[in-house]
Structure 1
Amino acid sequence: MKKLAVIALLLSLTGCFQPMVYLRNKLGYPVDVFYDTQRPERPFDPLQDLEVKGEVPLAARQSGNRRMLERGNDMQQKELMLARLTLQAKKLGADALVSVRYTYYTSMTDNGYVMSGLAVRYKEEHSQ
């Protein structure tokens, strides 16, 4: 009976959890976002390569006792970078960012990052 109750509980929680995703294509961005492994279905013209880069100090939780405990930027920092990149694309008149990539490095004192992508404008679709 206990096994049945546990199974029922697990099945009821199935839709409550979402797997962690690198970065989501949130509807709140001013342009569509397509990562390195994705391509829009619509044809497009390239406008300009864009890049956001910088460094932020290590958080206290990332190092201790002269050892690195955790590397990279947190999810909020990544979302902020993507928001900045999409705003740059929108200012150029882009409809989307394609081939978006995120890379980082960690030194003794800082997290460095680079997020890049290609701003594109969708081609007009002609009906026949």
Structure 2
Amino acid sequence: MNRIATFLVLVLALTGCFQPIVFLNHKTHYPVDVFYDNQRPDRPFAPMQDLEVKGEVPLTQRQSSNQRMVSRGNDMQQKELMLARLTMQAKKLGADALVAVKYTYYTSTTDNGYLMTGVAVKYKKEEETTAN
């Protein structure tokens, strides 16, 4: 019976009737906690310093075709690299988290410009929150 079941699953997969479910666990781990502009940590914190990563990268071939803009902005890998650089800055300051993270970009005829900002913060200890 086991061979028949395996054969049926194989036939269904090859004919396109069966779509296997693949769960993607693509959660990047950064050296500090990351909270975007619309999120807040559930712990009290003290701001340390505003941080930013900015720059320009040339348009890729897939972004322009026949001197026309096809797509704008940075791809997901470039955004993750920017966030990694921002979190490393926060870690070097001794921060526990990065809050109010924002990403903005602009596109010219030759380049993608980007700016990612955030605030490095230190979580308050339990004694500090009850004393205040």
TM category (shorter chain) comes to 0.7 to 0.9
Which has more helix, going by share of residues? 2
> Structure 2: which amino acid aligns with 1:45?
A
Structure showing greater Rg? 2
d(CA) in 2 for partners of 1:93, 1:69: 41
**Equivalent residues in 2 for 1:1-128 (5 A)?**
9=18, 13=21, 16-17=22-23, 26-27=28-29, 29-126=30-127
> Structure 1: which amino acid aligns with 2:108?
S
Change (3 A) 1:100 1:68: same
Q: What secondary structure is seen at the aligned counterpart in 2 of 1:91?
A: helix
- Matched residues, percent identical? 70
* Off by >6 Å, runs of 4+ in structure 1: none
* Cα RMSD (Å): 2.2
In structure 2, runs of 5+ residues without a counterpart are 1-11
Instruction: Compute the TM-score of the two structures, normalised by the length of structure 2.
Output: 0.78
d(CA) in 1 for partners of 2:53, 2:108: 19
In structure 1, runs of 5+ residues without a counterpart are none
